Amino acid sequence: MSDHRNGTSTSVGSGATVAAAGVAAGALANVLANVLANVLAKMGSGMGAILSVPRDSLTLMRLPDSAADSVADLLDVLDLTCLGEARIVVEGAPGDEETDLGESTPIVFVGRSQKQAHGRVFGGQVLAQSLVAAARTVEPVDGVARPIHSLHAYFVRGGDDNHPIRFVVERVRDGASFSTRRVQAVQYGQTILSMGCSFQEPADGMDHQDPMPPAPDPDDIPTLAEALGEHLDPSAAQFFAARRPIELRHVEGNIYVKPGRQRAARQSVWLKARAELPDDPVIHAAVLAYASDYPMLEPVLRRHGVAWQDPRLRPASLDHAMWFHRAPKADDWVLYTMSSPSASGGRGLGVGRMFSADGALMASVAQEGMLRLKEG
C-alpha cells in the first residue's frame, strides 16, 4: 500500500498500516507495537499517528502533518455548526402537575471528531465540544460576557470518530448572575456524554488560592519527542510527537512505556497548546478541558506501578468535573498538578489543579475512571 503524499508505507504485523516519510520500517513497527497500539489507544490521545486498526481491512488515516496543523485541526473540531432549535416536551406523571415541565426548545449543534487509532472519540474532545456548544448559547448581559465557571460531565458511551456528534443544549436558566446549561452529546440517537455547566457574570468578592508548588522550568524537561526517543528511533519519535495538539512534559518522567520509578500517587505535568490560539476565552477554556483529560488517571497508575503500555490495562473515563477560577490561557505553559486520594472497586479517582506559569490557579479538575487489570 502506498501513501498518496509521499509513497512510503509500512505494514505491521498487528494489521495496522502506517505511512511516514523517511522513517525506517523497523522504527515504525516499534512505535506501533510498543507505544501507539497500546499507549495511544488507551489514552485516547490525538498524538496524530497515521494509524488505523480496522476490523476487517486495512485503512489509511489522514491526520495533521505538524504541530501547527494539529492545533488547526483541533480548532476546526471545536468550530461547531448550529443546526437550529429542537423541541422537547416533558409531560408530568398522571395527576402530578409539578412534574409537567412543558415544552422547551434546545439549540442543536453538530461537529466532527479527530481521528483516533482505535476509532473511538477521545473523551477530552467531546468534553471540549460540549463546553463550546453550551457557551455559544449564553448571550452577554448588558454587553458583559458570562464565562464558564464549572462543568460536570458523565461519559455514558463510547463514540465513533467517523460519525458526526450532535450537541443538544438546553437553556435551563438565565438568572441575574448565572446561566445554567445542560448538554447531551448524541450519536446514532444515543447519548455518549451528558454534561451540566454554569456560567457567571464577572463579580468582585473574596479572593485567595493555594500557591503553585515548586517545579522545574518546562524548558528543562524533555519534550515528548525526546522522551519517546529513549525507547524509539528519534526520527520516529519526532514524527509522532509533532502531530499532537498539546505539548505534555512530565516532571517525574512519563509512564507511556515504563512505570514510574516511585510508586507515588501524584505527578506534575507542564502542558500547552502547540500553536497560538484565537483570543477567545471560550476556546481557551475548551482547550484546557481537552488537555485535562490526557493525564488525569496517571497518578493512579503510578501508585500501582502500571504503565500505559501494560497489556493488562483496561482504562475508561467515567466522569469529569472542572472548576474555572480565573481566566484560562491554554497557549502558554500550564502546570498541571495531580494526585489520587483513592482507588477501589476497579475505579480510580484523580484530582488536579492547573496553574498559569506566573502562579495563578486557573482551574481545578476531578475525574474518576475505570482502571482494570485483565490477567491472562
DSSP secondary structure string, 247-300? EEEETT---SSS--SS--SEEEEEEEESSPPPS-HHHHHHHHHHHHTSSTTHHH
pLDDT in the model for residue 51: 26
Give pLDDT tens digits for 236-251.
666 667 678 999 999 9
List the single range of 21-25, 167-171, 215-219 with lowest mean pLDDT.
21-25
DSSP string, 126-153: HHHHHHHHHHTT---BTTB---EEEEEE
What grid cell was written down for 95? 395527576
Beta carbons of 292 and 330 less than 8 angstroms apart: no
pLDDT at 183 over 90: yes
pLDDT in the model for residue 65: 62
**Of residues 198 and 228, more confidently modeled:** 198
pLDDT at 56 over 90: no
pLDDT in the model for residue 9: 31
Catalytic residue among 293, 339, 356, 364: 293
Catalytic residue among 45, 317, 339, 364: 317
Element (H, E) at 73: helix 67-78
Supply angle C-alpha 183, 184, 190, rounded to 5: 180
Beta carbons of 262 and 227 less than 8 angstroms apart: no
Alpha-carbon distance 110 to 117, whole Å? Answer: 22
Q: What number is the average pLDDT over the span 269-279?
A: 96
367 catalytic per annotation:
yes
Report phi then psi at 241, rounded to 5.
-65, -35
pLDDT in the model for residue 243: 72
Q: What number is the average pLDDT over the span 19-31?
A: 36
pLDDT at 211 over 50: yes
Catalytic residue among 116, 129, 364, 367: 367
Q: What number is the average pLDDT over the span 312-323?
A: 95
Q: What number is the average pLDDT over the span 179-203?
A: 97
293 catalytic per annotation:
yes
For strands 334-344 and 246-250, give the pairing: unpaired
pLDDT at 63 over 60: no
Other Cβ atoms less than 10 A from the Cβ of 117: the count is 28
pLDDT at 55 over 70: no
Share of the chain above pLDDT 90, in %: 65
pLDDT in the model for residue 114: 93
pTM: 0.84
CA distances from 227 to 32, 252, 255 (A): 16, 12, 10
Closest by alpha carbon to 172, among 190, 195, 142, 154?
195
Helices (H) and strands (E) in the chain, counts: 8, 16
Give pLDDT tens digits for 250-270.
999 999 888 888 899 999 999
**Of residues 346 and 309, more confidently modeled:** 346
pLDDT in the model for residue 356: 98
Q: What number is the average pLDDT over the span 302-311?
A: 93
pLDDT at 44 over 70: no
Q: Name, in order, each residue with C-beta under 8 angstroms of 287's C-beta and a sequence gap of 6 or more.
A: 74, 78, 128, 246, 273, 277, 330, 331
Q: What number is the average pLDDT over the span 291-317?
A: 94
113 catalytic per annotation:
no
Domains of the chain: 64-205 (3.10.129.10), 208-215+251-376 (3.10.129.10)
pLDDT in the model for residue 230: 73
pLDDT at 32 over 80: no
pLDDT in the model for residue 304: 95
What is the sign, positive or negative, of the torsion defined by CA atoms of 122, 127, 128, 133? Answer: positive
Q: What number is the average pLDDT over the span 78-95?
A: 91
pLDDT in the model for residue 27: 39
pLDDT at 163 over 90: yes
